[in-house]
């Protein structure tokens, strides 16, 4: 990115705190309900607490959202009362945590407001105390003094507060009584107190019943058996190096990791000095999480830790020797939080599709949170940069996804928005949530024709109702806004009966000729068509259509050179030393048709010796196709076919005679087959020249008279742009050649007969002047040099024998 470029920040830092700033005018409200309360029970009157009317809750789309997204509460929008959606089990919701608080929010739209509240779930005495073992075995030395205290394993009660275990007692006996103590965690533990000295020989075993009572009403109880074994004297009991072991373990520690190693000593020898370790009290969760090696005292993990579930553990370890004595220590394990929870994103509301051209619009409302703590729970929220949307922080941890401005469906009809929530822990974790936003159409685009004007070609004498072409328009809108209807617009030329000439299909824009067209009567005409969409309001556009009537292919090509009515066939001389590609002659032809009907192509139809000569298809030039040799025949006859490009194509053919000579200095002898007709050819040539001269003179005289008459008439009425006719005698020996094929103009050629030539060849000179000057034809004087240049090119293409 270039320096200085301002990048719009789309990331917002959010803190997941246990407490937040309360909404103005609303404190953190707390409500209370007892567990196991029936579904549908009344919790609170939110309409009254929020000071809102009954209908205002529904109008603002009020809804309740809980932290874990479970629908335990339901808001009645008609009455404004908050009711239970299901029975609540406090032990399932909070476990041993007291108090049991369920956080929830009340969301209101227009404008967006979030009100925080808490629901305290009260405990009922629905669980009895339970001991982990049905029988406890306690070994006591016979020399233990009265007042010695022996800790016992406590009972477990899932209830909390007064409903938890409050007292322990045993049956009446003369040696022991139960003392109930309260530790720092608030729980009460039983201890067996020796009241009277023991005598192994007198009584080696006692059986006592231990009862645990909770404080509920009515109270619940649980019992277990205590089996006391009186042992002979063992002087030294095991002693731990530390009474309390405190360790910290990261929650991502792998299974099998060493947590801590406890160690105890016993001064006795032999069996009385052999120590074994055991968990003095083991809850179900501790037993599933930790494993104690009875010989080494190592405590290892057998289950992954989770800081978010349990953040600390308290273990009581007992070391027992072979003589029955034991010592105890405590292990406090603190679980350290690591960044192992990805941020969470919950969509509260989502709107799609969005009408295009709308101003800033709220698309989605969502909430983010991270279950980790500290830096691991701080998050950054962002979306990609190449979309016209932005994130706006709302109250607490809610965010609004809004458009930056008006959207254009024709530019982009769908957006895939990826919302990324990244925490600030190490390593950083992120959560991506994709939503697809559709943009609905508004009729804001007029139909557009594929062309601003259309030219349609129709051959004359067509069948009525002939499909002559189509117009097509597109609309960038969609649905009914893009449905297009075509129509003929009113014609501004009152002399053109458009309604009787063409019609248009309103659905697809196809144009039809209603009657047969006549090229001589109407060569072309124009009209306009309209395209209108079905939107509201409807939009339209128009295009120009020009119909050109085409002529049929009814004229065959006409060969100018060689002359088809010559008295003797034309003979071309080719030296035997000519290279491959040598220009022998050029066939010149025209076609009176127009367009592609006058496009001529040439091909060699027959040849005395195939492969020796070739004809260029586009210009009629005849070239040698290979080198000539002495063994090639001297005379060759070529038939060239001239064909136009009409449908069906028409053609004409011309025969060429080629004579191979050793050089142009070699006397040119007449062909044997031509000699007997030489006298007749000479006479015919004379008659032809006389006839051409007479006709040309008469024609030129008529043109001069016509031009003079027109000039006289124009001079009487303010003449403009009159062309002057050059004075002088027009030659009478001119041949007029007209055509509309490869020669686009009419020319007069000077034709003379070479008297000294035994082949009676014609000689073409440069054109004298265009055969007619007409102001009405639109031809300017500047065209004359162009016409002369075209004829010069034609003359240059002729073989030397014609020149």
Q: In the prediction, which pLDDT does 96 show?
A: 80
Q: In the prediction, which pLDDT does 568 show?
A: 63
Q: In the prediction, which pLDDT does 65 show?
A: 85
Q: Which two tokens stand for residue 546?
A: 């020009």
**CB neighbour class for 26 (10 Å; exposed up to 12, middle 13-18, buried from 19):** middle
Nearest to 747 by CA among 802, 707, 786: 786
Q: How far is CA 612 from the centre of its chain?
A: 63
Q: In the prediction, which pLDDT does 774 show?
A: 34
Q: Which two tokens stand for residue 238?
A: 């095991």
For the chain, first and last CA: distance in Å?
A: 76
For the segment 386-403, the average pLDDT, to the nearest whole number, is: 87
Residue 56 CA to residue 109 CA, distance in Å, equals 10
pTM here is 0.45
Phi first, then psi: give them for residue 197, nearest 5 degrees.
-60, 150
Stronger pLDDT, 784 or 245, i.e. the higher one: 245
Range scoring the smallest mean pLDDT among 194-208, 451-465, 669-683: 669-683
Residue 524 scores a pLDDT above 80: yes
Q: In the prediction, which pLDDT does 94 show?
A: 85
Q: In the prediction, which pLDDT does 449 show?
A: 94
| Cβ contact 796:787 at 8 Å | no
Q: In the prediction, which pLDDT does 689 show?
A: 76
Nearest to 421 by CA among 365, 378, 389: 378
Q: In the prediction, which pLDDT does 714 show?
A: 65
* pLDDT tens-digit readout, 697-718: 888 888 888 888 888 776 554 3
- Name the 3-class secondary structure at 272: helix
Q: Which two tokens stand for residue 726?
A: 């050059």
Range scoring the smallest mean pLDDT among 557-561, 576-580, 693-697: 693-697
For the segment 716-733, the average pLDDT, to the nearest whole number, is: 37
Q: In the prediction, which pLDDT does 758 show?
A: 39
Nearest to 129 by CA among 89, 159, 97: 159
For the segment 329-334, the average pLDDT, to the nearest whole number, is: 93
Q: Which two tokens stand for residue 294?
A: 């009875």
Residue 388 scores a pLDDT above 70: yes
Q: In the prediction, which pLDDT does 567 show?
A: 62
- Sequence-distant (6+) residues with CB within 8 A of 281 are 132, 153, 154, 316
Q: In the prediction, which pLDDT does 785 show?
A: 42
Alpha helices in 13-53 (DSSP H): 46-50
Adjacent-strand bridge partners of 367: 346, 398
Q: In the prediction, which pLDDT does 703 show?
A: 85
Rounded to the nearest integer, the mean pLDDT of the chain is 79
Q: In the prediction, which pLDDT does 57 show?
A: 81
- Name the 3-class secondary structure at 69: coil
For the segment 478-497, the average pLDDT, to the nearest whole number, is: 88
Residue 7 CA to residue 412 CA, distance in Å, equals 23
Q: In the prediction, which pLDDT does 718 show?
A: 38
Adjacent-strand bridge partners of 541: 531
Q: In the prediction, which pLDDT does 722 show?
A: 33
* pLDDT tens-digit readout, 68-119: 778 888 888 888 888 888 888 888 888 888 888 888 888 888 888 888 888 8
* pLDDT tens-digit readout, 22-48: 343 456 788 899 988 888 889 888 888
Residue 624 confidence class, pLDDT cut points 50, 70, 90: very high
Residue 541 scores a pLDDT above 80: yes
Residue 728 backbone class (left: φ over 0; alpha: ψ -120 to 50; beta: rest): left
- Sequence-distant (6+) residues with CB within 8 A of 252 are 304, 305, 338, 340
Residue 307 confidence class, pLDDT cut points 50, 70, 90: confident
Residue 566 confidence class, pLDDT cut points 50, 70, 90: low
For the segment 118-124, the average pLDDT, to the nearest whole number, is: 88
* pLDDT tens-digit readout, 235-291: 778 999 999 999 999 988 999 999 999 999 988 777 878 899 998 877 888 889 999
Residue 485 confidence class, pLDDT cut points 50, 70, 90: very high
Here the contacts of 495-500 (C-beta below 8 Å, separation 24 or greater) are 496/525, 496/527, 498/525, 498/527
Q: In the prediction, which pLDDT does 796 show?
A: 52
Q: Which two tokens stand for residue 616?
A: 């260029």
Q: In the prediction, which pLDDT does 404 show?
A: 86
Residue 461 CA to residue 487 CA, distance in Å, equals 26
For the segment 17-25, the average pLDDT, to the nearest whole number, is: 35
- Name the 3-class secondary structure at 459: strand
* Burial annotation 237-246 (CB, 10 A radius, 16+ → b, else e): bbbbeeeebe
């Amino acid at each position: 990115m270039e320096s200085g470029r301002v990048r719009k920040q789309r990331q917002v830092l959010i803190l997941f705190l246990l407490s937040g700033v309360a909404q103005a005018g609303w404190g953190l409200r707390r409500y209370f309900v007892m567990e196991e309360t029936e579904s549908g029970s009344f919790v609170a009157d939110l309409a009254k607490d929020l000071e809102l009317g009954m209908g205002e809750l529904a109008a603002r789309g009020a809804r309740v959202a809980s932290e874990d997204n479970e629908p335990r509460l339901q808001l009645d929008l008609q009455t404004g009362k908050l009711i239970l959606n299901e029975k609540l089990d406090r032990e399932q919701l909070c476990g041993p945590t007291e108090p049991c608080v369920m956080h929830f929010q009340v969301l209101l739209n227009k404008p967006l407001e979030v009100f925080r509240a808490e629901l305290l779930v009260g405990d009922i005495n629905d669980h009895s105390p339970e001991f982990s073992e049905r029988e406890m075995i306690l070994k006591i030395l016979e020399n233990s003094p009265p007042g010695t205290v022996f800790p016992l394993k406590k009972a477990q009660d899932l209830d909390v507060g007064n409903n938890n275990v409050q007292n322990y007692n045993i049956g009446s006996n003369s040696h022991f009584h139960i003392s109930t103590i309260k530790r720092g965690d608030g729980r009460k533990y039983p201890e067996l107190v020796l009241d009277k000295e023991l005598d192994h020989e007198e009584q080696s075993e006692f059986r006592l019943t231990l009862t645990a009572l909770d404080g509920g009403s009515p109270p619940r109880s649980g019992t277990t058996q205590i089996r006391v074994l009186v042992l002979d004297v063992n002087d030294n009991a095991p002693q731990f190096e530390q009474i309390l072991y405190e360790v910290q373990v990261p929650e991502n520690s792998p299974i099998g990791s060493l947590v801590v190693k406890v160690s105890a000593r016993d001064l006795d020898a032999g069996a009385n000095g052999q120590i074994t370790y055991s968990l003095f009290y083991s809850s179900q969760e501790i037993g599933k999480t930790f494993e104690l090696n009875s010989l080494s005292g190592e405590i290892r993990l057998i289950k992954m830790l989770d800081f978010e579930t349990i953040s600390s553990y308290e273990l009581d370890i007992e070391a027992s020797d072979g003589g029955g004595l034991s010592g105890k220590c405590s292990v406090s394990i603190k679980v350290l939080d690591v960044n192992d929870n990805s941020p969470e994103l919950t969509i509260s509301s989502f709107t799609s599709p969005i009408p295009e051209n709308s101003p800033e619009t709220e698309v989605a409302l969502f909430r983010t949170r991270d279950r980790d703590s500290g830096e691991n729970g701080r998050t950054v929220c962002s979306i990609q940069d190449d979309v016209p949307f932005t994130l706006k922080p709302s109250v607490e941890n809610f965010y609004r996804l809004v458009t930056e401005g008006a959207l254009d469906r024709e530019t982009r009809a769908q957006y895939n928005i990826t919302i990324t929530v990244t925490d600030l822990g190490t390593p950083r974790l992120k959560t991506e949530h994709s939503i697809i936003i559709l943009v609905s159409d508004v009729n804001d685009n007029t139909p557009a024709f594929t062309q601003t004007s259309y030219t349609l070609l129709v051959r004359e004498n067509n069948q009525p109702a002939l499909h002559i072409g189509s117009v097509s328009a597109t609309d960038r809108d969609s649905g009914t806004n893009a449905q297009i209807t075509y129509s003929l617009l009113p014609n501004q030329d009152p002399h053109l009966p458009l309604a009787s000439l063409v019609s248009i299909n309103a659905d697809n824009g196809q144009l039809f000729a209603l009657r047969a067209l006549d090229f001589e009567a109407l060569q072309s005409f124009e009209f306009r068509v309209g395209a209108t969409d079905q939107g509201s309001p409807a939009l339209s556009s128009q295009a120009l259509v020009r119909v050109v009537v085409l002529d049929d292919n009814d004229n065959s090509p006409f060969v100018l050179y060689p002359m088809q009515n010559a008295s003797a066939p034309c003979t071309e001389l080719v030296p035997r030393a000519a290279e491959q590609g040598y220009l022998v002659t050029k066939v010149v032809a025209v076609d009176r048709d127009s367009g592609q009907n006058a496009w001529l192509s040439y091909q060699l139809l027959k040849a005395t010796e195939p492969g020796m000569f070739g004809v260029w298809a586009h210009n009629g030039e005849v070239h040698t196709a290979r080198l000539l040799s002495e063994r090639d025949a001297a005379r060759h006859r070529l038939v060239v076919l001239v064909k136009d490009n009409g449908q069906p194509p028409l053609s004409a053919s011309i025969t060429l005679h080629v004579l191979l000579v050793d050089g142009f200095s070699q006397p040119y002898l007449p062909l044997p087959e031509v000699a007997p007709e030489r006298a007749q050819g000479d006479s015919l040539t004379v008659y032809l020249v006389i006839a051409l001269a007479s006709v040309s003179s008469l024609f030129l005289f008529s043109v001069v008279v016509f031009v003079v008459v027109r000039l006289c008439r124009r001079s009487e009425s303010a003449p403009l742009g009159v062309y002057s006719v050059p004075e002088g005698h027009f030659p009478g020996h001119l041949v007029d050649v007209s055509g509309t094929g490869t020669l686009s103009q009419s020319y007069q050629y000077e034709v003379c007969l070479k008297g000294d030539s035994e082949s009676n060849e014609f000689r073409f000179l440069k054109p004298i002047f265009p055969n007619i000057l007409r102001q009405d034809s639109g031809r300017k004087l500047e065209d004359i040099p162009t016409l002369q240049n075209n004829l010069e090119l034609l003359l240059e293409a002729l073989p030397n024998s014609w020149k």
